[in-house]
Structure 1
């Protein structure tokens, strides 16, 4: 089914993305990122120079000014994931969908002027630190504290599973500034690389996304100046968090649709070229029926995600609707990838094949951004008349 949400500007932009991929997202580069466990700075800066990173930074700060029109980011995801660059797409997402929007929407004018121009060029890499060893989806359970002192805050605690955590220059960090677990007991601070007592820790070994670094962060008496309190307002952390949740969850849904689309294309190509018992794999009825199911699922997935893209552009995507998109898209992505990997047979278990890496990468989509169980709880609360993000 043909999609119709892109206009001429988006398709022209797609050409820029494809040109970048030809020059920078080679099989050699993907293998190097996987081996090193991180995306090199040169690739990030090249993407910024090509105009495909920093899209969410306003034009007055040197970016693309496309934060509300997420269709441009969807184009980036489609093209990069199609060539097996899932880790690179993930790194782009942390910068453009998580770190930058907090500054754009909630930063002071001074914070925007200080950080956004350098984030637009990838001179500064951002990360978002919420999860802790003892607190995941339930962020009211965090124990990282920010104690008010003269001129700023002293931070103590730890974060874990932080994407881009090892390479980040600026970490948007969720902390506890008050007593109890009321919403006004939490704030967000900007912690800079090089601050005394801030340790990036080691890269974590994980199931997928091997080319995109994930780390544990620790804070031991880290002094953060008052001007690094996001928005200059203490006790606004939960409100600030809620404001960005629709985009974060939409981004996961889009990534799922991109991966499902790529998996279908890879599997059609593979089953056309592979033979068994004297005929192509795609000529077996079981293969054709499985692929037909996948094709219909991908069409339905994009129809839903495209509707969400337009709703976000118009400022109408609520936290509850974004939760639906996140859990439904990631579940369909997983079904598609599992079917497509099976059709690759033994080769589907080999890391040299993009379907294998995409399968491993996809598993986290049902976990991060709030587990799919939490997403269902959010939606069911709304249905019961008890909304909650």
Structure 2
């Protein structure tokens, strides 16, 4: 994308986030929902399809461009990004990475416009970061597949129009093998969505269980067609690697907001007749958070460049996600500390972000899974049994 065009997009998103969304953060937290007017504006701005290729109606941002946009989105409640995150990320990328041309033409333009919302149906009660224990089954019956199982914590499932369901198509295969992905429209008989989960944070971003009881889909809904049989794990791994880089950028954007909240409070809060910004122990907390944020931003940008070049799409995204998700937790903790008692009160931004940030260390693969990926990449065969 032309540099001027990218800067125009980033500028419009920055203005939208800071003037339209930030003032509504308290309402979003209280109502556990994004106002419909904000949803409509997101669709008009093309935010439902910023990673989807232009030929399918999206903005077609590459990774370097995408992470800059994600940083702007990270300035406000994560629920905003979550609205369209699955379309651009793990769900939409199932089609971009593994779909047939017919599947891409049928679904990607609708995802890009926001006409359709997609969910990524991988996680189960006993299969989260490690899908080897995946229990959902897909059995071939003529020109149809029959799906049975339950998915857990599926983002956007209460409002999804289609769910990318990962199921075991070869029960004899071990570990990550024998898994396939299926396009399952929400109105397919036998598919039901449980009540919204009550979460610690990230109000307005909805997750729920998805139940599949004898759900029948045509063979054409197998992602990748005939060549998609038993390739689901490879598709999921590529989607998650991209998603980890995106989440790292969102964490960096949130860290920037937390640094802003911290410094503004320190400049105006007085103790002993002077702003607490004069106290060196407060300055130390601020300096640590500024340094953390700058380190995270540099890591994300470098990782995005390597991702675009194709030189590192495994360890780099894991390292970025690992560092930045842990980093934003530290920055949030310091922000609460600088705010003192006020930082522990509901209605104060840093208190909300403290709870919101905790999830980043869990989804798209826990910090511990990222450690394993990073270490095995560095150590090679010696680290594997």
TM-score tier, shorter chain, comes to: over 0.9
Q: How big is the shift at 1:36?
A: 3.8
Alignment partner of 1:150 is 2:145: no
After TM superposition, list the pairs within 5 Å mapping 1:121-270 onto structure 2.
121-180=113-172, 181-232=174-225, 233-270=228-265
Judge conservation of contact 1:175–1:188 (CA < 8 Å) in 2.
yes
Matched with 1:362 is 357
C-alpha distance in 2, partners of 1:271/1:372? 31
Structure 1 distance, partners of 2:264, 2:59, is 35
CA 1:52–1:179 in structure 2 vs 1: closer, same or farther (change >3 Å)? closer
- 1:273 aligns to 2:274 (yes or no): no
**DSSP-derived class of the 1:53 partner:** helix
Q: Which moved more, 1:346-355 or 1:226-235?
A: 346-355
Q: Deviations over 1:315-374 (max 9, x none)?
A: 223212221111112111111111111111122122322212211111111111111111
Name which of 17, 20, 34 aligns with 2:16. Answer: 20
- Which deviates further from its counterpart, 31-40 or 376-385? 31-40
When the two chains are superposed, the root-mean-square deviation of aligned CA atoms in Å is: 2.0
Cα separation, 1, equivalents of 2:123 and 2:264: 40
Deviations 1:151-172 (A, max 9, x none): 2111111011111121111111
In structure 1, the partner of 2:93 is 101
Alpha-carbon shift at residue 23 of structure 1 (Å): 6.5
Q: CA-to-partner distance for each residue in 1:138-160, whole Å, 9 max, x for gaps?
A: 20101111111122111111011
The residue number in structure 2 matching 1:375 is 370
Rounded to whole Å, the distance in 2 between the matches of 1:295 and 1:318 is 27
What's the secondary structure of 1:154's corresponding residue? strand
Determine helix, strand or coil for the equivalent of 1:303. helix
Contact 1:44 1:122 in 2 (8 A): no
Q: TM-score w.r.t. structure 2 length?
A: 0.93
**Shift in CA distance, 317/91, structure 1 to aligned 2, threshold 3 Å:** farther
CA 1:375–1:80: 2 relative to 1, 3 Å: closer
Contact in 2 for aligned 1:93/1:251 (Cα 8 Å): no
Query: Do 1:183 and 1:235's aligned partners in 2 also have CA atoms closer than 8 Å?
Result: no
Contact 1:20 1:47 in 2 (8 A): no
Contact 1:20 1:50 in 2 (8 A): no
- Cα distance in 1 between the residues matched to 2:285 and 2:19: 35
Return the match for 1:344 from 309, 314, 339. 339
The answer (yes or no) to whether the contact 2:84–2:117 under 8 Å persists in 1 is: no
Given that residues 77 and 202 in structure 2 are in contact (C-alpha distance below 8 angstroms), is that contact kept between their aligned partners in structure 1? no
Q: Distance in 2 between matches of 1:212 and 1:150?
A: 38
Q: Is the 8 A contact 2:251 2:324 kept in 1?
A: yes
Shift in Å, 1:7: 4.2
Which residue in 2 is equivalent to 1:3? Answer: none
d(CA) in 2 for partners of 1:22, 1:318 = 32
- Per mean C-alpha deviation after superposition, the further-off stretch among 378-387 and 251-260 is 378-387
Match of 2:111 among 119, 137, 144: 119
Q: For 1:327 and 1:26, how far apart are their aligned partners in 2?
A: 27
C-alpha distance in 1 between matches for 2:298 and 2:22: 30
Q: What residue in structure 1 maps to residue 327 of structure 2?
A: 332
Aligned residues: 379
> 2: distance between equivalents of 1:267 and 1:26?
16
Kept after mapping to 1: 8 A contact 2:58/2:112: yes
Q: Which moved more, 1:257-266 or 1:31-40?
A: 31-40
Gap change, CA 1:101 and 1:330, over 3 Å in 2: same
Following superposition, the deviation at residue 311 of structure 1 comes to 1.2
Q: Given the two structures, how large is their TM-score scaled by the length of structure 1?
A: 0.92
